[in-house]
Structure 1
Amino acid sequence: MALRSRSAAWPFALIVTAAGLVGCAGAAPAPEDIAVAVYQPRTDVAAERIAITVENLRSEPLEITGARLESRGFAEPMTWPGERTATVPPGRAVDLRVPLVPPDCAADPPVTGTVVLTYRKGAHDVDARLPLPGGDDRLPALWRQGCLASRVAEVATIGTADFLWTPGVPEAVLVVDIVPTGREGTVRLLEAAGTTLLSPAQAGRAVPRAPLDIAVSASDPPSSLRVPMVPNRCDAHALAEDKVGTRIPLLVETEDGSTGRLVLAASDALRERMYGFFVDACAL
């Protein structure tokens, strides 16, 4: 948990004050001195978490004893894990990390969500339901990405298998394994895209996207895809601060015509190979 001053910027944040309060000890007035936000820091992308930010606008400490994020389109609430508390000093904010849950792809896409915050008031815990306003795309985007990945997984398991490079050679090869499920359906791999660290390459030069145009059927035999890769830009700071630079996105199209990004996560060993290539190719 990271405490922040009230003036700290919240990227991609939804900021609201409480609209209603129902306490364990009975109903209570709406707390106008608590604000909440939800966003996803880059550090939480690979960890598959989202942050609930709680800002204490009151003149006394706020003791939080529970929190969860509810949103239509997700199978269950996203709950702050464990039995723990967080004390937020006056004028400060805290981020509560909650694990993402699977999307409910049979439901309508989420428009917004509700933060249910439990905190101490006197001798009792009270629950405040804090609806988030519309206008932020984070929850809908997570729902779309999760449902796209589920539809792709019905056809094939697609994942990063290897990252091949030779010292002194400025181009590497990303190896992607494609293992069809043997069920039904097709998916088309349209393009490979780059990250903050790595880009697909054509004729040895970085390009934002490299066309693939590969159709995968659930009944196909296993296969592999090889994508030439080069550094996106040789920036030591980008490497030192990297959070998502080894997560290679593929643009895919499912059988129903939906398109989106399928992000290929790298294992710890492959991540180190990618970093090693970046350092060598950039002579850092």
Structure 2
Amino acid sequence: MAPQNVEITVKKTERTDLPIPFGKANCTPGRLPDVQPATVVAHVRVGAEQEPRKVTFEIPHPDPLLTRLLHDECSEHLIKLAADIAFGPEWKRVGDAMHGTLVLTRRGEGAVTVHRIDGTTHYIAAPVTEGDPIAELDAAAPSIAAEIRLTPGRCDPHAFAEAKKAFLFPVRASVDRGEQRVVIVSPPKDVQDRLIHYALDVCGLPTS
């Protein structure tokens, strides 16, 4: 990432935590990259000094958090090179469940298989027809859709008040039946609003 001017004054304290953005992962086509050594470079002016001094902080290598973040982001990147995975626009209520589709659209080479869709803090997700795989986009096919169903996972009012990750659905997919990787799929805002209204109704909670 390019340098960012933060202009933070660190007083005489034993510890000060400064948030640092790490940017996007540098992913490689065809495989997961290895995490590389990383450093944080700061330009610091101490006391009455006129000119800042350059200070380099080395991050212990390999850092487990950076390794996990790189693996997660680049795993998703490899799937997205082959196909786009998204929720379809049409949803309908069937009993106490909402039925919709998970749509795979061709972007690159390889057969893309969706093995599983996991739920979130608020919704239980499952295919309408049980089986593995949920959907498989043949290497020559432009797109395919699989029917899925959502039901509320929690009905307490506190859950709806803290719905920060309610719509981040982990989808486990692979290219050419290789290693399964996780892609986070979120429905568009209008669908999210419909799903919240539906879940409140099923849970017997006020909808307005």
TM-score if structure 1 supplies the norm length?
A: 0.60
After TM superposition, give the deviation of residue 240 of structure 1 in Å. 1.3
Distance 2:163 2:20 in 1: 20
Say which of 194, 201, 204 aligns to 2:119. Answer: 194
Deviates more, 1:116-125 or 1:98-107: 98-107
Q: Which amino acid aligns with 1:244?
A: K
Over 3 Å counting, the alpha-carbon distance change for 1:217 and 1:144 in structure 2 is: farther
After TM superposition, give the deviation of residue 278 of structure 1 in Å. 2.2
Match of 1:173 in 2: 99
After TM superposition, give the deviation of residue 263 of structure 1 in Å. 0.7
CA contact (8 A) 1:155 1:218 kept: no
Higher strand share: 1
After TM superposition, give the deviation of residue 211 of structure 1 in Å. 4.8
Q: Secondary structure at the match of 1:250?
A: strand
Unaligned runs of 5+ in 1: 1-76, 204-209
Match of 1:120 in 2: 45
Higher helix share: 2
TM-score if structure 2 supplies the norm length?
A: 0.78
Distance 1:157 1:126 in 2: 47
Say which of 159, 166, 170 aligns to 2:86. Answer: 159
Match of 1:30 in 2: none
Match of 1:58 in 2: none
Say which of 47, 53, 60 aligns to 1:133. Answer: 60
Over 3 Å counting, the alpha-carbon distance change for 1:138 and 1:128 in structure 2 is: same
Over 3 Å counting, the alpha-carbon distance change for 1:115 and 1:130 in structure 2 is: same
CA RMSD of aligned residues (A): 2.9
Unaligned runs of 5+ in 2: none
Match of 1:279 in 2: 200
Over 6 Å off, 4+ runs: none
After TM superposition, give the deviation of residue 219 of structure 1 in Å. 2.1
How far does the alpha carbon of each residue in 1:214-251 deviate from its partner, in whole angstroms, 9 at most, with x for none? 22234213222221111112122222122212011111
Say which of 222, 233, 258 aligns to 2:179. Answer: 258
Over 3 Å counting, the alpha-carbon distance change for 1:232 and 1:97 in structure 2 is: farther
Distance 1:109 1:159 in 2: 28
